């Protein structure tokens, strides 16, 4: 498969196709020396990705898949798509490593983060009062009741 390609077909109950979405790579061509068997094993590719990231302690390899990695100029490289974790620094990663040269093509974290604010109660009202009386569902209304704390 070509990394990033997509085909999505939406059918109605009668089997008729309603919409079709596709992401393809027109005028793609295999890069020179990338049409034969791979030269870099998946395990070596993970080591290369970890070295490029400065990993001190690797984790485990979750999945490896040989894919075509599209470059901006339309050439396709035979590459390893690797999902792997690291212990130091802690993380989960998706990396692409050229299966012929071992060059790290791309690495990004698969951990989702959020930056925001919130409120915490120590102790929370149920623990403090020993009752759930302050928690009400507002008679199933689509609004929040004013809590009596």
* pLDDT computed for residue 23 by the predictor: 87
Q: What are the pLDDT digits (tens) for 63-97?
A: 999 999 999 999 999 999 999 999 999 999 999 99
Beta bridge partners of 81: 65, 96
Burial 14-40 (b: 16+ CB within 10 A, else e): eeeeeeeeeeebeebeebeebeeeeeb
Percent of the chain at pLDDT > 90 equals 62
Distance in Å from the first CA to the final CA of the chain: 57
Q: What's this model's pTM, rounded to 2 decimal places?
A: 0.70
């Amino acid at each position: 498969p070509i990394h990033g390609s997509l085909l999505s077909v939406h059918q109605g109950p009668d089997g008729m196709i309603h919409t079709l979405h596709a992401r393809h790579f027109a005028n793609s061509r295999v890069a020179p020396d990338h049409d034969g068997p791979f030269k870099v094993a998946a395990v070596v590719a993970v080591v290369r990705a970890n070295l490029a990231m400065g990993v001190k302690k690797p984790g485990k390899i979750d999945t490896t898949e040989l894919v075509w990695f599209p470059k901006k100029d339309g050439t396709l490289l035979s590459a390893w798509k690797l999902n792997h974790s690291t212990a130091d620094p802690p993380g989960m990663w998706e990396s692409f490593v050229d299966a012929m040269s071992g060059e790290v093509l791309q690495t990004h974290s698969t951990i989702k983060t959020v930056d925001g604010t919130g409120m915490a109660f120590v102790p929370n009202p149920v623990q403090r009062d020993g009752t759930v009386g302050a928690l009400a569902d507002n008679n199933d209304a689509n609004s929040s009741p004013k809590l009596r704390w």
